[in-house]
Amino acid sequence: MKKLVKWCAVLLLVAAAAMVVVYRAVNQVPSPELPQYEQVYEIFEEGGCLSCHSSDPKLPFYAKLPVAGKIVMKDIDSGYRAYDIRPFMDALKVDGEFSPVDLAKIEKVVLDDRMPMPKYYLVHWGSSLTEAKREIVLGWILKERAEMYADNLPESRAGEPVRPIDSALEVDEAKAALGFALFHDPRLSVDNTVSCATCHALETAGVDNHQYSHGVDDQLGGVNAPTVYNAVYNFVQFWDGRAKTLADQAAGPPLNPVEMASESFDQIIAKLKEDKKFVKAFNAVYADGLTEANITDAIEEFERTLITPDSRFDQWLRGDDSALTAEELEGYELFKKYDCATCHVGQNLGGQSYELMGLRRHYFADRGLELTNEDNGRYKETQLERDRHRFKVPGLRNVEHTWPYYHDGTRETLEEAVRDMAIYQSDVEMTETETDKVVAFLKTLTGKYQGKLLTNDTSRDVIHDHDHDH
């Protein structure tokens, strides 16, 4: 009996040693001869990322088995809802351009050692991330960030997923002046009562602080108006991303029957042409005069001036250690810890991707309000089921002044917005202390417009329109 036990022990040791040898053989780092981006591609391809995070997953043979198949399909559904890695992998193949969101999400997963899941790499031995593979990926991300941003941050800040706002952007001053006039001109509306500034007032942080904006005849829109400040940094405009540029966005509200309700740009142009001084000024800048394209171009040029640099957080990013308090720095670390900085990245701390509202918990089920067409988000434009309830991520610059929050304007305070976002997006129930620290950090994102710190003195007593139909 003792000999049998001894032999069994020997066999187990031999088997374990063989498994180690096999594991090392199949989990080699890519050749250093390859370009860095090809090394990263190989790591993620062998890691099986496309097996779950793709619309066309590579199904393993065991996906056809009854029990295993259910587990596999659940993981695929969850993975694809959270992140579609296909565009990132396609860009890696050719060393293309990468979204700051892709870099942030990949970095966080690698740092937290979340992927691949143990139940995947226990079956696919070569898929787990060794320390050597982690170093390759993280080193590549640092290189990409350095190439993406020409901000020359100190080494201690160079790896941060967020960046300072530019001190200024190049603009055509003459066009911007026309755009300023048009932005504040109610003649863009059918009854000369509503301008762009009605919903995006510069003195109230670029918003109107209503749950839903009021258009002509006091009609209510269906979504909360996002701030116009720093919109130039968004990769698309509107919550549903239907406008690719600021000019495209500017063309929408004048003809929207709820907002400005003009019949056509011809109608708008006819009214503007009655203003001889304005026509003369316009013709001096645009050779072909008043046209829809020129009107929206001028507004776009003006909106390029609406940036708010030099926040205290920007000062810290540029190397000023005294710019933030200990509490605010702790808030920033929590902001990163709880995955906020995987979507709220770049110069605007957002506006770079579409994300699912209610990724980890069912936001709309808990909200208790009837679903509206606006709640469909990106789905309205694509008709893809994956895009239902997916929205452009809002930028967080000056967020302390842009209440109420979310696309539906249902959160009155920044504390509520932070706490509930952690629940629904990260499945984290933050303590009151943690919430206060994150809010303290977010308040450091208030920047300066034309050299003056942005403020908003609007009374909070009139912001909500819960009782209105919309």
- Burial, 41: exposed, middle or buried (Cβ in 10 Å; 0-12, 13-18, 19+)? buried
* H-assigned helices in 252-353: 265-272, 276-285, 292-303, 312-317, 326-337
Cβ(414)–Cβ(405) below 8 Å: yes
3-state secondary structure of 391: strand
3-state secondary structure of 111: helix
What letter would DSSP give residue 162? Answer: B
Q: Which two tokens stand for residue 185?
A: 């001109």
Residues 6+ apart with CB under 8 A from 54: 80, 84, 85, 86
Cβ(315)–Cβ(167) below 8 Å: no
Please give the Cα distance from 38 to 67 (Å, whole number): 36
Cβ(449)–Cβ(202) below 8 Å: yes
C-alpha distances in angstroms, 356 versus 115, 178, 306, 381, 430? 20, 38, 28, 15, 20
Residue-wise burial string across 164-187, b where 16 or more C-beta atoms lie within 10 A, e elsewhere: bbeeeeebeeebbbbbbbbbebeb
Please give the Cα distance from 52 to 82 (Å, whole number): 10
Please give the Cα distance from 256 to 189 (Å, whole number): 9
Task: Give residue 96's region: left, alpha or beta (phi > 0; psi -120 to 50).
Answer: beta
Residue type, 233: Y
Please give the Cα distance from 370 to 153 (Å, whole number): 47
**Annotated catalytic residue, options 107, 160, 259, 328:** 259
Residue-wise burial string across 434-447, b where 16 or more C-beta atoms lie within 10 A, e elsewhere: bbbbbbbbbbbbbb
3-state secondary structure of 220: strand
- Catalytic status, residue 259: yes
Peptide bond into 116 cis (omega under 30): yes
Instruction: Give me the phi and psi of 354, to 5 degrees please.
Output: -100, 135
Residues classed as catalytic: 259
